[in-house]
Chain A
């Protein structure tokens, strides 16, 4: 049984999804989904412990066919770190989905909603576990297609969800197509799709123009999927018009998985020695990352809709991850992994808390939260802590992220970039302060509807807030995990 965990990680939610479509009873679809996400979370934790205990990578041959002919699933320190984020966030957000989905989605659509929900999660888990480049594409499409459907389900409350979903679909498809074009070129050059095999064979032919083109297509496709500036325009409408639970799930996990796939292909397949990677892509990531950090932060400062505000902030945060990757050192990559992990926690908490407000008022804006600090203290405090973590205040996970990113930059003598990164992250103070001022320092306007909260509503957000603070205080396990994950790509494996 333990031996089959790598495939169970993906297959459990994948097979559960169509079965849930059949469950039409009230609440039963949610309950089944909740149990399935719980099981996937446990599996990912078991995988993490197996990998971190033994230090070895787990390779699972699908159907008994060995690589490179068969498809393999590989769990190493990097994928073992990303899996618990996806499953853990999936689990907590599913817990919250109970009231969010009841409030926002028509009862008849619940079963279909949770089917798409599990498919998205299964697709993301597949991208992380598989050791086959084409398999990544398949899972990318599984998660994306179901995500388009989930975003479109926001149309029940706001029709603007439909153009947002369509936009997302077109751009997402462009991204996936670019990825598969690049893959086609690689297959043409090497005759294999297995990631390890690709790395070995590419080493012989790496300096050809076709290989550069392949890398460029793949990188561009993944930039689109991870919403790196300036390819981020689909993200803000998609997150802000999606149902609250979907926004929370996607903001916390979807782009992170694309970041992971980018790292896997950049370092695991092309390798640090590949000229296009070491001399080209690094600079591109650093440049776009820092611009994205400023553009996202500044856009967030002038935004008044909370979902859009934090979606813009996600653009900035993805910029920091891009910078971490672009430094091209083990320390930089570790910083990117640390931030990938921490940011998932913060953004999950924030979007869940905003969902509590959005489910009652339709949209959470600066006006609807005026004076809300007294009416829904737990929810607003969760937003405050999430915001503090985004700024990078000590004792939150955000501080650890910032510390390691700045250190990685300084160690590689990127002094100016370190200063800019620091300034842009400190600018987050401006939009967090705006929220504090509206929620606590302004009185509730006359005639504004009363907001309420119950423990079931704020508990999921608080679970993630506690995790954010927990990983800010007891940071060593995460740092070690991230350092090991980075070592996978710098330990001579490529």
Chain B
């Protein structure tokens, strides 16, 4: 896939604080890219620099080969942005607010397009109401509608499902997937790792202003995959001396469950542990193995950095 956004050695300094430190990143056309990172990692600053809300201190950002500083009209024309907060002029009506967003991109009346988006986002019956009267979830949807009003090729979603209920979150996920099917490139920041796990093609992890990892989601999950096995014991374990030589084993559930982290099945590690339990006369009645989630991988990477 062709690279659509090219970020080269971008740094952004606020006073003494380096919010972005020599960031380089390529976003491919038509993909969903999830940018993950803890609070203050630089996710929003990076998005702001691409969208023109802040100017990088050094480095270059190109969108489809147009420079975001010297050719800002060409780059911004292609981008829709859904910000993290709910910054809306509450006195305006839903429809007029969308029309305003569309007009800023040089497009005249787009009634049919806006109506279509409002229907998709279940806001059509609110189109003539003032924004003040909308619930938080509706305002979140309106921000998405406004970002789509000018039919962007690239959509930035800065924590689009923060503070919305499960049902609406699923609706927004569907909308994101639909946009992808229409060829829109999507860059997503989120605190819900489940969201990235569900939607993303590739994942980038940013911490302290530096990109620490960029990988295909499936490759990431398989490379950093760690299985955790739980062995439910038939009675509480009192003698734990056999565990002392193996740092992969720990005792949880008030002595009733053995937790085995990172057990490698190909080397029969689990079988060895089961044998070990038998030799020590420890009976068990359930074995359960789970794969670690993207959230575990994310936390491991951020904490070990």
Q: Does chain A bind chain B?
A: no
